[in-house]
Structures are given as structure tokens and as C-alpha cells.
Amino acid sequence: MKTRKYLEPEVVTMPREKLKALQLRRLKLQLRRCYENSGFYKEKLVEAGVRPNDIRSLGDVTLLPFVTKSELREEQMAFPPFGRHAVSPSKTWAELHPSTGTTGIPVNNLWSHKDVKLITQWTARTMWTFGVRPGDVIQNAFSYGLWVAGMSTHYAARELGCFVIPIGASMTERQIDYLLTPGPTVILCTPSYALHIAERLKQRGISPEDIPLRIGCFGGEGGAEVPATRDKIEKGLGIEAFDYYGLAEIGPTIASECPEKAGIHWVEDHLLIEIVHPETRKPCEPGEVGVLVITHLTKEATPMIRYWTNDLAKLDERKCGCGRTHARSPGGILGRADDMIVYKGAKFYPVQVEKVVRSLCELSDEFCIELTTDPNLGTDACTILVECLKEEDISRVTPQIKHGLREECQVTPEVRFVPFGTLERTTFKAKRIVDKRKKD
């Protein structure tokens, strides 16, 4: 089994025509279930003037209304505790995994017993895609518990016949002790935490060559596909680093890179992936960046139909060099639609600042984008806070950062140096934007 190139080869290399026919069959079934068993979906479809029978091709999915996070929150408040989008009866429920609540009240998501099996199956597949094999020792530094990724990767690692260290996203010193012994071959965590672990490893005088880690997969936030970040993680931990993506409403670990590193492969037999223009709300052209919209084809408990993720991505449906036919998003998640910064007429995302900051070896990995109101002019001000490893390099590196930002973001925000160690190190997801602007 260990030498097999694919897990579920008949699924991951399925001709696209066949895959699309499977998606359409599953979409029709899912839609009928939702229409018949969920007041939430029935009302939405009636309001949009569409019935399940109107969906005759995958293209017809555009007739269906989007589901947004704020709408789920309202539904949950009106019909507590789970809302009427909980389609399957309570006796089928197995686990509760709410969203993190970083943008408001957490949205409750349910996994049925059947969902747990499916999630375990597709997570095992995505882990196989980036190179996990039976016998690997996995240091699982994803947060366990309510957050989705810790549990799913744990179940999948067990399913694959691996030995798991379920440490979770904490105890950085012990993470490092375990890297030495028992010495995992695979690490899973957020990219921010990977950089933090690498920084502590260096401070403790441990060389990446002293630990047996082979690969790492990093999700929960973007970054693993930013070349400078990937390079820092790979060098800092002595591994090959891969990108991974999931979200609470849809599920954990629904896409991962393969050894070609040509984008994250979606589990398209379980999900219908669309890229939609953020303003016109029409489908994007192939390769165009837009908002990722996802439909559950098989999820039982709280299925999402056209969920507006607010994450930005592009889609490539061409067969990958690895032989897999499931579509990829090159570059992974490219930002959050609501994280766009508009400054002096230019529009940019934190990921672009990350590219510049992490390409300069004089700087630490941390940065923060501070938005304020100029007290004299009343206009918006934007300052990038960075840390220089050695104070004497500040004057030399300042013009390089400014030049990099101008090239990447088409605008030059202010740059402010803070002492090394000032910016928050995280074991979870980094908060990159601090908005202190005066609101009218």
C-alpha cells in the first residue's frame, strides 16, 4: 500500500466528464433533500423562483441563491440552537464544530456519523496527496476540539495507519522536545505556528538536520504557497512544505497540494467548486481570481448550497502533472475579499505585504498592517509594522522594503520598525490587520 501513488485512484484520476456527471447526480439529490427537509432552503429557493427540478446541468447551479455567513447567523438566532439548515434529524448527529467566531457569533456546524466517515475519507486522501504514508509519525499541532482540522487529521492519520502525537496548537517547548524524540516525520499546523516553532528551534540551538521531520502541511490560513514563506518554513524545519485548506462551514482539509505544487487539489467528488466575481456575482473566466463558492454534494447534517466563503482563489480544471483530474487552485487561497486594503487609490491584500516582508532576510517573519486616521488631514493612513533582527540593519533595509511594497502593492505605505519580539507570535492564526480608523 505504501508505494501506491494514489489513494482511491479510481476517484482522483476519474475523467472529468465522468466526474461532472457524478457531481450533477449528487447535486440533484442534495438539492431535493434540502428542499424537502429544510425550511431555510425551501424559503430561499421559493424566493429565488427556482425548484430542484430546474437544475438540469451543473451550469444551472447559478440559478440557486448564495448562502452567506451572516445569513447563517441570523437563521441560528431565529431558530436556535442550530437553525433550519440542520437538515438531518438530531439522532444522526455526531459532532459539533462551530466557526472560530473571529468575525462575530460562531456559526454552529454539525457532522453526522456519516459525515465523520466521509470527512475522514477525504482527509486521508488529501494527506496521501501531499505524501503521508502508513507508518509515518505525525505531530498534529493543529488545534483540537471545536476547531475542525485537529480532529479530522487525527481520524485520517489513524485510518492511514500512522502513529499520531495529538499535541494540538500549544506547548511550543514540548513541540520541540517531541521533534527530537520520538521524532515525527510529518508536522501539521498553521503556517504562522510553523514559523514560530522554527524560530524557537533556532533559539534553542537545534539544527533542522537533528530532527527526522520529512514533510509538513500547513493550513488554517494562507501563506504556505507564498514562495518566501514556504522557503522559510522549509529551511527552518528542514522539510518539504505543502499547503492545505478547509473552513468550518464546509469542512476541514478539503484541498491540498500534491508533489507538483501546482495548486491545491479539491475533493471534487464531494464538493462543487465555483469562482464568482465579487461584484457582478457571475462566474469568473477560467484562471480569473474571484470569490470561492462551495456546494456540499454529500454532506448530511448541515449541507451548504453555494456557500459564499469570502476567500479569493482561481481555478484550473486541466489535468495536473501528478495525474489527478480534480481541479486545482494555483497559489491556494489568495486573500479574503473583506481583507482588501484600499489606500491612496491602490488596492492590495495582506498576502502581498507578506511576500515582501518575508523575502528580506534582515526581518523577522512577523508583520502587522495598521490602519489609522491622519489627525491633521482626516485621511486614511497605512503603516506596516516590522521587526529587524539586528538594529544596525534598519537604515539599509528600509529603502528595500519601501521599494518592494511599491512594486507589489502599487503604493508605498509607511514603514515602522518595532523591537524584535514585539509583534505577537501565534500558535493559531495570525491577525495581520489592526484597524484604528475613526468611523463616521
Summarize as ranges the residues that interact with Zn ion (CB under 5 A). 258, 260, 320, 322, 324
**CA quadruple 312, 121, 261, 358: dihedral, nearest 10:** 60
How far, in whole angstroms, is CA 386 from its chain's centroid? Answer: 24
Cβ proximity to Zn ion, 262 vs 369, nearer residue: 262
Cβ proximity to Zn ion, 34 vs 322, nearer residue: 322
Cβ proximity to Zn ion, 154 vs 265, nearer residue: 265
* Residues whose CB is less than 8 angstroms from the CB of residue 132 and which lie 6 or more positions away in sequence, other chains included: 138, 157, 160, 162, 186, 215
**CA quadruple 30, 39, 292, 102: dihedral, nearest 10:** -130
Peptide bond into 182 cis (omega under 30): yes
Q: Coil, strand or helix: which one is 171?
A: coil
**β-pairing verdict for 137-140 and 307-313:** unpaired
Q: Of 388, 405, 410, 406, nearest to 397 (Cα)?
A: 388
Cβ proximity to Zn ion, 87 vs 271, nearer residue: 271
* CA distance readout (Å), 79 to 40, 74, 94, 424: 10, 8, 20, 38
Angle made by CA atoms 393, 399, 402, in degrees to the nearest 5? 120
State the helix-helix crossing angle for 16-37 and 39-48, rounded to 10 degrees.
Answer: 110
CB 374, CB 380: distance < 8 Å: yes
Q: Least distance from C-beta 319 to Zn ion, angstroms?
A: 9
Q: Least distance from C-beta 393 to Zn ion, angstroms?
A: 40
Q: Least distance from C-beta 314 to Zn ion, angstroms?
A: 16
Cβ proximity to Zn ion, 85 vs 324, nearer residue: 324
Q: Least distance from C-beta 187 to Zn ion, angstroms?
A: 22
Q: Least distance from C-beta 260 to Zn ion, angstroms?
A: 4
Give the count of alpha carbons within 13 A of 39, CB side only: 7
Q: Least distance from C-beta 357 to Zn ion, angstroms?
A: 29
CA distance 346 to 409: 7
Q: Least distance from C-beta 140 to Zn ion, angstroms?
A: 24
Cβ proximity to Zn ion, 15 vs 145, nearer residue: 15
Q: Least distance from C-beta 348 to Zn ion, angstroms?
A: 29
Cβ proximity to Zn ion, 322 vs 382, nearer residue: 322
Cβ proximity to Zn ion, 248 vs 258, nearer residue: 258
